[in-house]
């Protein structure tokens, strides 16, 4: 029997059918991963905010501003598990065999899934690059407003809070005010001091990265050189604290919360700052190497044997030690890792479909449930490889950030191609 090549109408129908099957599975998986990450975020907020009588409308906004990061990480994993479930179901019900008997190749059946993966990768990248930085800024702005209205968010009543080299001791806390406030810190000369105030009131500062405390009925006690005791009194005193020192929620946005363009700009600045140190290091290496060459060619030493050999050995060891101490900036390495990570995670969807499609074809029974279980295992392995690469790359400056962040994608892609080829040649 000669099979006819499917016509345009038939191909379009098959494209929509397989694409629809994948979309249903993807939505189910996306809801699953979104729920897991969402509940985790909700528990973190519940511990820090919901117990402090913050209005539910503000809590809802904080959750809303946290959603971009949840969406960006949920899409690739939902794509992986969704393909495994969809293709596994089609394979279990022999629909893949029916399509092939009708003249459809595996590549044509794979096309709608690949197109969907490319679209989802672009959407995930957009969420991560556009919505995530905006959400982070809005989260910090709202949290700052809540902190001014309710200091108990970070300064709990009758508690001791340590940050950097300073300590804050609080009494009763009411909206905007703290009673019996004590600060243990160091003055401008490095001497320890104790500042006590009957009351502290939070006031807004021009700098959005700091919080102002207006202290009333202030007594300051400082010690100079371990012997001299100084006391001073004031009706009011203004004391400023960096917000990032007392709460992680208001720290300056890191590379993960920045856009690709912003991270690239920071990388250029850090590279420009590091370049003079590298040029100096290269000149020193070149000078010592030149000196080594002169010593090797010098035949006029009185004792050419042991003396010259010892000098050459010392010079070689010196060059080796200097080569091992190449200047580097760890923060630059971290920014580079995050830069490539902003691409590798969204576009992991493409690598995942190349692996998930042939794996789903091997499914013989319980296609959806088996695909779901396998997908969770693969997702866990991918995440472990990604975190391992980031950790290893941040600790070893000689490791390529591009390789560290894209190696998991490359491994899954190559494995997928191998399985795809094996399935097509059966």
Cα torsion angle, 416, 420, 423, 426, sign: negative
- Region of residue 63 (left: phi > 0; alpha: psi -120 to 50; beta: else): alpha
CA–CA separation, 71 and 77 (whole Å): 10
Mean pLDDT of 187-202: 81
Residue 3 has pLDDT above 50, yes or no: no
In this structure, of 235-239, 282-286, 404-408, the range with the lowest mean pLDDT score is 282-286
- Check: CB of residue 366 under 8 Å from CB of residue 86: no
Banded pLDDT at 423 (limits 50, 70, 90): confident
Domain membership of residue 3 (yes or no) is: no
First-to-last alpha carbon distance for the chain, in angstroms, is: 20
- Check: CB of residue 197 under 8 Å from CB of residue 177: no
Q: pTM of this prediction?
A: 0.74
- What the block records as the tokens of 114 is 């690949």
CA–CA separation, 410 and 340 (whole Å): 13
Mean pLDDT of 132-146: 82
Domain shared by 287 and 180, yes or no: no
- The residues near 409 (Cβ < 8 Å, ≥ 6 apart) are 344, 347, 348, 351
- Check: CB of residue 83 under 8 Å from CB of residue 357: yes
**In what helix (H) or strand (E) does residue 403 lie, and over which residues does it extend?**
helix 401-424
Domain shared by 119 and 239, yes or no: no
Identify the DSSP state of 206. S
CA–CA separation, 267 and 264 (whole Å): 5
Q: In this structure, are strands 173-174 and 210-224 parallel, antiparallel, or unpaired?
A: unpaired
How many distinct structural domains can be found in the chain?
3
pLDDT digits (tens, 9 = 90+) for 65-88: 889 989 989 999 999 999 999 998
**Rounded to whole angstroms, what are the CA distances from 365 to 89, 109, 208?**
8, 20, 59
Mean pLDDT of 234-243: 79
Domain shared by 323 and 347, yes or no: no
Give the residue carrying structure tokens 């009758």: 158
Domain shared by 159 and 96, yes or no: no
Domain shared by 59 and 26, yes or no: yes
Name the E strands within 204-303. 210-224, 228-242
Strand partners, 182: 169, 196
- The residues near 387 (Cβ < 8 Å, ≥ 6 apart) are none
Domain shared by 171 and 227, yes or no: yes
Domain shared by 275 and 363, yes or no: no
Query: What is the rounded (10 degree) CA torsion for 28, 34, 40, 42?
Result: -110
Single residue among 334, 365, 393 that ends a domain in this structure: 334
Give the residue carrying structure tokens 């709990």: 156
Single residue among 272, 306, 334 that ends a domain in this structure: 334
Domain shared by 399 and 379, yes or no: yes
The predicted structure's pLDDT at residue 292 = 63
Residue 197 has pLDDT above 50, yes or no: yes
Q: What is the domain extent for residue 221?
A: 155-246
Measured at the CA of 415, the angle between CA 410 and CA 417, to 5 degrees, comes to 95
pLDDT digits (tens, 9 = 90+) for 206-227: 566 667 788 888 888 887 765 6
3-state DSSP assignment of residue 215: strand
Domain shared by 194 and 281, yes or no: no
The predicted structure's pLDDT at residue 112 = 92
Q: Where are the alpha helices (DSSP H) in 169-259?
A: 243-246
**Rounded to whole angstroms, what are the CA distances from 221 to 113, 194, 245, 376?**
70, 5, 23, 59
CA–CA separation, 100 and 338 (whole Å): 43
pLDDT digits (tens, 9 = 90+) for 402-414: 999 999 999 999 9
Domain shared by 232 and 351, yes or no: no
Banded pLDDT at 343 (limits 50, 70, 90): very high
Banded pLDDT at 367 (limits 50, 70, 90): low
Mean pLDDT of 306-322: 63
Domain membership of residue 109 (yes or no) is: yes
Domain membership of residue 1 (yes or no) is: no
- Check: CB of residue 176 under 8 Å from CB of residue 148: yes
- What the block records as the tokens of 105 is 């190749």
Q: Where are the alpha helices (DSSP H) in 325-400?
A: 330-344, 348-361, 367-395
Domain membership of residue 2 (yes or no) is: no
Domain shared by 52 and 169, yes or no: no
3-state DSSP assignment of residue 158: coil
Single residue among 189, 221, 246 that ends a domain in this structure: 246
Domain shared by 115 and 238, yes or no: no
């Amino acid at each position: 029997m000669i099979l006819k090549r499917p016509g345009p109408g038939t191909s379009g129908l098959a494209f929509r059918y397989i694409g629809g099957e994948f979309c249903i599975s993807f939505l189910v998986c996306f809801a699953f991963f979104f729920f897991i990450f969402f509940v985790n975020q909700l528990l973190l907020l519940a511990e820090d905010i919901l117990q402090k009588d913050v209005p539910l409308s503000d809590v809802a906004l904080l959750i809303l501003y946290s959603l971009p990061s949840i969406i960006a990480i949920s899409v690739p994993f939902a794509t992986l598990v969704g393909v495994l479930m969809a293709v596994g179901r089609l394979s279990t019900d022999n629909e893949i065999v029916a399509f092939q008997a009708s003249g459809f190749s595996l590549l044509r059946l794979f096309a709608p899934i690949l197109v969907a993966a490319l679209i989802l990768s672009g959407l995930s990248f957009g969420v991560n690059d556009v919505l995530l930085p905006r959400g982070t800024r809005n989260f910090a702005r709202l949290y700052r407003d809540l902190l001014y209205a309710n200091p108990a968010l970070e300064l709990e009543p009758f508690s001791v809070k340590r940050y950097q080299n300073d300590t804050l001791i609080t009494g009763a806390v009411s909206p905007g005010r703290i009673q019996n406030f004590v600060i243990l810190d160091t003055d401008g000369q490095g001497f320890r001091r104790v500042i006590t105030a009957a009351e502290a009131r939070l006031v807004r500062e021009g700098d959005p990265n700091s919080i102002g405390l207006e202290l009333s009925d202030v007594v300051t006690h400082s010690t100079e050189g371990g012997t001299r005791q100084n006391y001073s009194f004031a009706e009011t005193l203004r004391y400023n604290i960096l917000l990032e020192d007392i709460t992680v929620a208001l720290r300056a946005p890191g590379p993960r919360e920045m856009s690709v363009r912003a991270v690239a700009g920071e990388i250029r600045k850090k590279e420009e700052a590091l370049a003079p140190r590298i040029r100096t290091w290269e000149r020193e290496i070149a000078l010592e190497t030149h000196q080594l060459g002169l010593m090797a060619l010098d035949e006029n030493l009185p004792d050419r044997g042991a003396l010259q050999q010892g000098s050459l050995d010392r010079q070689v060891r010196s060059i080796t030690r200097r080569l091992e101490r190449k200047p580097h900036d760890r923060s630059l390495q971290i920014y580079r890792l995050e830069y490539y990570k902003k691409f590798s995670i969204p576009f992991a969807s493409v690598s995942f479909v190349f692996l998930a499609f042939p794996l789903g074809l091997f499914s013989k029974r319980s296609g959806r449930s088996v695909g779901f279980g396998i997908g969770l295992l693969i997702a866990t392995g991918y995440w472990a490889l990604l975190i391992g690469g980031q950790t290893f790359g941040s600790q070893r400056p000689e490791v390529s950030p591009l390789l560290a962040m894209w190696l998991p994608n490359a491994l899954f892609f190559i494995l997928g191609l191998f399985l795809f080829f094996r399935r097509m040649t059966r």
